[in-house]
Amino acid sequence: MEETITAAAGFLVAVLWFDLMFDVQLLPHRRSPEVPEIVLASISGYYRRVTTTASPMGRLVGLTMMILLLALITQAARGDAPGWASAGSLSAGLLAVGLAVLGVFGRARRLGARTDSLAVQSRLARHILRDHLICLAAMIVVLVVQIGGA
């Protein structure tokens, strides 16, 4: 199970890395009420592709999230890792997948549509960046625990 968990978490870290390559364009504008149009155009164009036109890749990401959670639950149920390792990995995995499913995907799709005002698009982009940073930290926790502690 550890190999499956590590592979799934590693894949999700790679996906987050690509997302963050676009998200970090916000950092120079973090104190501005609105993000410049050119930055929003770049970020929203990326999210339009990955949430709408890049099928079936989006399904692969969702499938990987499901495999990760099922593997973490199986590992915990079988006692294949110390209790603290299973609890920590499962908590971090649930946090990351929950944020992605319940927040990031919908916001990214909405941002990609570009139907909102610049102020709303700026807020959406900032939420996505924040959530991606949390997801990245959570996936790194999963990897560290699985590689070093399980």
Tracing tokens 């999210």 back to the chain, one arrives at: 47
Q: In this structure, are residues 125 and 60 in contact, taking their beta carbons and an 8 Å threshold?
A: no
Q: What is the pLDDT of residue 148?
A: 84
Q: What is the pLDDT of residues 91-128, one digit of tens each?
A: 999 999 999 999 999 999 999 999 999 999 999 999 99
Q: What percent of the chain has pLDDT over 70?
A: 99
Closest CA to 45 of 117, 140, 139, 112: 112
Q: What is the pLDDT of residues 76-87, one digit of tens each?
A: 999 888 889 899
Provide the b/e sequence for 7-18 (b: ≥16 CB within 10 Å): ebbbbbbebbee
**Structural tokens at position 138:** 């959570």
Residue 55 pLDDT greater than 80, yes or no? no
Closest CA to 1 of 92, 90, 63: 90
- DSSP, res 1: -
Residue 52 pLDDT greater than 90, yes or no? no
Q: What is the pLDDT of residue 33?
A: 85
